[in-house]
Amino acid sequence: MSQKQQLLICGVTGFIGRNLVDYFSERWKGPIAGTFWKTKPSLALRQNKRLKLLKADLTNHSHVSRAIKGSAIVIQAAATTSGAKDIVTRPFIHVTDNAVMNSLILREGFEQKIKHLVFFSCTTMYPEGVRPVREDDFNYQIKDKYFGVGWTKVYIEKMCEFFSRISDTKFTVVRHSNIYGPHDKYDLERSHVFGATMTKVLTNPSDLLTVWGDGSDERDLLHVDDLVNFVGLALQKQQTRYELVNVGMGKSIAVKTLVEKIIRHSGRTMKIQYDTSKPSINYKLAVNIQKAKQIFGWRPTIDLDAGIQKTIAWYRQNVPATLRMLGKK
């Protein structure tokens, strides 16, 4: 893959997209473009001389066509996302917009004959298990709370495979585990378990910390730096038209243990109270990452304790104190 060609990152104001910009701004030799829509780009993004910002509604065909024009590589990091509360109470918000925007991006990528497309899927389609799940462990039985988002992701995965069969475009589908790190969502309405816990620990004036659920849920947590490093390797090393790959830490940790680690690394002393009346997914999962290791030579490099320390340092430096007091970003 020639790095003289244009790279398009969809969703640069989002968590993963923002980190992709940082990664490729230092490594990609060709031009870089990035889309945004409702969220205004930060000052750092606007001042990034490597990045051409494109305002585009990716659920609009003409906007998608204009955004992709001239790009050889598309990294699709744009999505309608949120946390456990919305997954339980408003699951429909993850379905319609994401199905529409990805259908349009895949169709337009095919029409414009792009060279490579990376799509971020998830792990919500997997069954729970005592061992890390492989890519072929999907058994078509998706947990009720994940039914909408899980099947939407599977549909888009199959669309990637379909277009790989009728074009010369390479497609990389990334089934990543729970990602955390800089630029994540830290407001309590939209954040996932890591971001929500980080905000509660670092902003709560009380020494009592309330955690949703009973703390027994288990998550496979991967630092975002390791995820974007995988994307870089995929663009360099993929030989086939279609690859679907698990990307995670390869092991899970209980929410209870995660909370205790974040408190310890924050330097605070807090009492933990579990609220079982609040939304909780009740899910235990880790992903098998042998395929990523074998095909791409990738492996995670940031362990959870180091990742927590890095994220706390970033949070304290980058989230304004006035917003931290409100638990918002």
Task: Kindly state whether residue 192 falls inside one of the protein's structural domains.
Answer: no
Task: Kindly state whether residue 134 falls inside one of the protein's structural domains.
Answer: yes
Q: For residue 150, give its domain range.
A: 6-179+223-247
Structural domain count, the chain: 1
Task: Kindly state whether residue 227 falls inside one of the protein's structural domains.
Answer: yes
pLDDT in tens, 74-108: 999 999 865 556 666 777 777 899 999 999 999 99
pLDDT confidence of residue 87: 61
Task: Kindly state whether residue 140 falls inside one of the protein's structural domains.
Answer: yes
3-state secondary structure the chain: CCCCCEEEEECCCCHHHHHHHHHHHHHCCCCEEEEECCCCCCHHHHCCCCEEEEECCCCCHHHHHHHHCCEEEEEECCCCCCCHHHHHHCHHHHCHHHHHHHHHHHHHHHHCCCCEEEEECCCCCCCCCCCCECHHHCCCCCCHHHHHHHHHHHHHHHHHHHHHHCCCCEEEEEEECEEECCCCCCCCCCCCHHHHHHHHHHHCCCCEEEEECCCCCEECEEEHHHHHHHHHHHHHHCCCCEEEEEECCCCCEEHHHHHHHHHHHHCCCCEEEEECCCCCCCCECCECCHHHHHHHCCCCCCCHHHHHHHHHHHHHHHCCHHHHCCCCC
pLDDT confidence of residue 322: 45
Task: Kindly state whether residue 76 falls inside one of the protein's structural domains.
Answer: yes
- CA–CA distance, 278 with 147 (Å, rounded to integer): 20
Q: Quickly tell me which residue has 């709370």 as its tokens.
A: 145
CA angle 131, 127, 227 (to 5 degrees): 70
pLDDT confidence of residue 84: 58
User: pLDDT under 50 in the chain at which residues?
Assistant: 322, 325-329
Task: Kindly state whether residue 168 falls inside one of the protein's structural domains.
Answer: yes
pLDDT confidence of residue 145: 83
Task: Kindly state whether residue 297 falls inside one of the protein's structural domains.
Answer: no
Separation of first and last alpha carbons in the chain: 37
Check which CATH number belongs to the domain holding 128 and give it.
3.40.50.720
Asked whether the whole model's pTM tops 0.85, one would answer yes
Task: Kindly state whether residue 173 falls inside one of the protein's structural domains.
Answer: yes
pLDDT confidence of residue 191: 82
**Burial of residue 174, with CB atoms counted within 10 A of its CB: 0-12 exposed, 13-18 middle, 19 or more buried:** buried
